[in-house]
Amino acid sequence: MANCKPIATPVDTKSKPSSSDGALLTDATTYRSIAGALQYLTISRPDIAYAVQQVCLHMHAPRDVHQAMLKRILWYIKGTLRMGIQLRAALSPTITVYSDADWAGCPDTRCSMSVFCVFLGDSLISWSSKRQTTVSQSSAEAEYRAIANAVAECSLL
């Protein structure tokens, strides 16, 4: 992948593939190895956290469409090698939190995604991207759960 063409986004904006789309990979060892390594990279690269989480949902039985998602993340990383978290001294120690939810975003379970990021001044200090444990009946309920997760994180901080 050293000579691959870089792209601007780690995730395709089209619909998410389910766990039954595409053909099963004959050997999933490389897929699992790269996906696991990308999980460690999310420590310093929160911009790929959602994309890596989507890839890791299919580690038990990866398919060719999931491998294409994995390659897209690698193409994105190729173009953004100089990106990462920068911590700066803040003039005022204010905590700012952003949260969002993707209502019924998983095509298999219809569970929503909760995402939040916490800033201390201008520095990102905490973030999360994970599937909600229960199915929300509305987008407002999914957003409420995402906000609840973000508030719980702020309480810990």
Asked whether residue 75 falls in the same domain as residue 100, the answer is no
Asked whether residue 7 falls in the same domain as residue 73, the answer is yes
Asked whether residue 1 falls in the same domain as residue 77, the answer is yes
Q: Using CA atoms in the order 107, 73, 8, 23, what is the torsion angle rounded to 10 degrees?
A: -50
Helical (H) or strand (E) element with 5:
none
Asked whether residue 55 falls in the same domain as residue 30, the answer is yes
Structure confidence at residue 134 (pLDDT): 82
Structural domain contains residue 3: yes
pLDDT at 15 over 80: no
pLDDT at 138 over 80: yes
Q: How confident is the model at residue 84 (pLDDT cuts 50, 70, 90)?
A: confident
pTM above 0.75, yes or no: no
Asked whether residue 75 falls in the same domain as residue 3, the answer is yes
Residues 118, 127 contacting (CB under 8 angstroms): yes
Print the domain residue range for 10: 1-84
| Mean pLDDT, residues 13-34 | 86
Q: How confident is the model at residue 96 (pLDDT cuts 50, 70, 90)?
A: very high
- Whose structure tokens read 């969002």? 100
pLDDT at 20 over 90: no
User: DSSP label at 2?
Assistant: T
**Residue 69: other Cβ atoms inside 10 A:** 22
Query: Cα separation of 45 and 23, whole Å?
Result: 30
Structure confidence at residue 73 (pLDDT): 95
Secondary structure of residue 7 in the 3-state scheme:
coil
Mean pLDDT of the chain: 87
pLDDT at 129 over 90: no
Q: Which range, of 22-26, 44-48, 77-81, 109-113, averages the lowest pLDDT?
A: 109-113
Structure confidence at residue 92 (pLDDT): 79
Number of compact structural domains in the chain: 2
